[in-house]
Chains A and B, each alone.
Chain A
């Protein structure tokens, strides 16, 4: 009997074969803590009686949700974080470099086959390079900082095979939204997703990242892609045989297998206020909008900004519509300036913000009110996420979002 990718990662970690449903204790390769939860992690860690971090170099602290502070109390999180880093000898801290999930892969903290936990639900993102990564709460994070271990239940795997060539107006975001719509918001709860097929093999790591990022919206514990040459280039490594072997075996056991033909995909949006409420953009066309947000750990990467710029080149954002663009990291911001993307977006009338979580978590940079509609490239459209509970949030790809910004209404890109 063969193994799925997650079974291989856990096997390599614990040193023996494992089966879905088994509860095992894994050795953690890396942890990520963000600004919102650091005060709670710090107090639980000390309440637990720990006096040192098991391996300070394996811990990363990133300020992103609250950067720069929009409420007076936010600064308390930075002070507590800075004190924690100093006290326990942590070296890996990012105070204004971008969104945590972007930085974890971009700055080389995560490698194929790693076991990684973070205090953010979108920690599933690192499956884009073949790492097992998942979100946890602050109490469990405190216990990992002390022990370097965590118990997990080995998940069953849903295989998603995609073959063929995507239509020009379809992006990876449309694929993952369609999949979440098909699976439902709890369709992959406690399970691993495994993506395969020539369509995902042709995809950039950035596109894979958009997909693994949103796996949690179907409840998934992780979402894995097999590491390949693109992964190696992105991570700036040579793949080892063990890393190359992180592929689902032909005779592995899957609890479900889904097949999609790439040519069948169309641009879609997740409609208010559930991520699994997915409809073709064509069915929504004509709805007037107030704002567009292009950014987040889902779609704030260079290829996303370039896709938006391609749509907006020589055009202007519609009157009354605000277009907010938030690059996912400082590095992406710089690259987008250097290759002219930012100039195109600025000329088109975009409001360009500093790299951070920004509007995605509804704390800053474009809060909306009752009756307003926003088309956004981030990962959640929950009630009240970007302002009041009577804001309509439509989740879309950067291409769709840019086309809507120019038209002032929902249109097919």
Chain B
């Protein structure tokens, strides 16, 4: 089972998509152009601080708000390996799966971690923090299929006989 460790950034409840990327930057040409403005209404310095392989740990309803798919794409572009939250909003959840951004629901971790802590994630098994284990529930099969195909674009390319 795939296993990885990373340093965490801790965010609160209801981190909405306007916080993840404000509308004024949505007409920039690529998500790479938008990425420096990620989380800017809340923490303008955060996008520059995030390193490849870091993990976001947040409260409930992460990704609520608009349907902007740039939100998960930007988080992925910043190098975030996965987002662990107490819960996720519906559209953000679908968009993340379709872009191959790993999301893990866990309602306990957020309340015991500090920013900068290191955690270890074993996919579909558990999260480890300070010697404590937090079990992860596995995803439904149709979502696993999309992730295994490498996201929805690749799944559709396969359908069209291109890959």
Tell me the A residues contacting B by CB distance below 8 Å.
Answer: 23, 36-37, 40, 44, 47-50, 65-66, 71, 73-74, 76-77, 118-121, 123, 135-140, 142-143, 146-147, 151, 185-186, 189-190, 219, 221, 274, 361-363, 380, 382-385, 389
Chain B, interface residues (CB within 8 Å), range: 35 or more
Q: Which residue of B lies closest to A74 (CB)?
A: B27
Contact B64 A146 (CB under 8 A): no
Q: Chain B: interface secondary structure?
A: loop
Contact A186 B19 (CB under 8 A): no
The 6 closest A-B pairs by CB, nearest first: A137-B69, A49-B160, A384-B41, A48-B156, A186-B61, A137-B95
Residues of B within 8 A of A221 (CB): 90
Partner of A136, one of B22, B89, B91, B156: B91
Contact B23 A274 (CB under 8 A): no
Supply 6 A–B pairs (Cβ within 8 Å), ascending by A.
Answer: A23-B140, A36-B23, A76-B29, A121-B65, A135-B67, A136-B95
Interface digits, B55-72 against A, CB 8 Å rule (1 contact, 0 not)? 000001100111111100
Q: How far is the CB of A52 from chain B (nearest CB, A)?
A: 11
Q: Which residue of B lies closest to A77 (CB)?
A: B27
Q: How far is the CB of A298 from chain B (nearest CB, A)?
A: 14
Q: Cα distance A283–B75 when bound, in Å?
A: 39
Q: Taking A49-B160, A50-B160, A382-B65 as contacts, is the C-beta distance between A136 and B94 under 8 angstroms?
A: yes
Given A137-B68, A139-B98; 8 other pairs, CB 8 A cutoff: A49-B160, A119-B67, A120-B67, A121-B67, A136-B95, A139-B95, A143-B156, A385-B22
Q: How far is the CB of B103 from chain A (nearest CB, A)?
A: 14
Tell me the B residues contacting A by CB distance below 8 Å.
Answer: 14, 16, 18-19, 22-24, 26-29, 40-42, 60-61, 64-70, 87, 89-91, 94-95, 98-99, 140, 142, 151-153, 156-157, 159-162
Residues of B within 8 A of A185 (CB): 14, 61, 64
Residues of A within 8 A of B29 (CB): 73, 76
Q: How far is the CB of B162 from chain A (nearest CB, A)?
A: 4
Q: Cα distance A135–B68 when bound, in Å?
A: 10
Residues of B within 8 A of A47 (CB): 153, 157
Q: How far is the CB of B89 from chain A (nearest CB, A)?
A: 6
Q: Which of B67, B142, B152, B153 has the most CB of A within 10 A?
A: B67
Contact A380 B18 (CB under 8 A): yes
Q: Cα distance A119–B66 when bound, in Å?
A: 9
Q: Taking A47-B157, A139-B69, A140-B152 as contacts, is the C-beta distance between A189 and B18 under 8 angstroms?
A: no
Q: Chain A: interface secondary structure?
A: loop
Q: Cα distance A74–B28 when bound, in Å?
A: 9
Contact A49 B157 (CB under 8 A): yes
Q: Which residue of A lies closest to B62 (CB)?
A: A186
Contact B66 A121 (CB under 8 A): yes
Q: Taking A49-B160, A50-B160 as contacts, is the C-beta distance between A361 and B64 under 8 angstroms?
A: no
Contact A389 B42 (CB under 8 A): yes
Contact B64 A186 (CB under 8 A): yes
Q: How far is the CB of A383 from chain B (nearest CB, A)?
A: 4
Residues of A within 8 A of B162 (CB): 49
Residues of B within 8 A of A151 (CB): 142
Q: Which residue of A lies closest to B98 (CB)?
A: A139
Residues of A within 8 A of B40 (CB): 384
Residues of A within 8 A of B159 (CB): 49, 147
Q: Cα distance A47–B65 when bound, in Å?
A: 27
Contact A44 B24 (CB under 8 A): no
Contact A362 B98 (CB under 8 A): no
Q: Cα distance A163–B109 when bound, in Å?
A: 43
Q: Cα distance A246–B94 when bound, in Å?
A: 27
Q: How far is the CB of B56 from chain A (nearest CB, A)?
A: 17
Q: Cα distance A143–B65 when bound, in Å?
A: 22
Residues of A within 8 A of B140 (CB): 23
Contact B90 A190 (CB under 8 A): yes
Q: Cα distance A50–B142 when bound, in Å?
A: 22
Q: Taking A143-B152, A382-B19, A384-B19 as contacts, is the C-beta distance between A121 and B27 under 8 angstroms?
A: no
Residues of A within 8 A of B89 (CB): 186, 189, 219
Contact A219 B19 (CB under 8 A): no
Q: How far is the CB of A47 from chain B (nearest CB, A)?
A: 5
Contact A121 B91 (CB under 8 A): yes
Q: Which residue of A lies closest to B155 (CB)?
A: A143
Partner of B67, one of A136, A143, A146, A382: A136
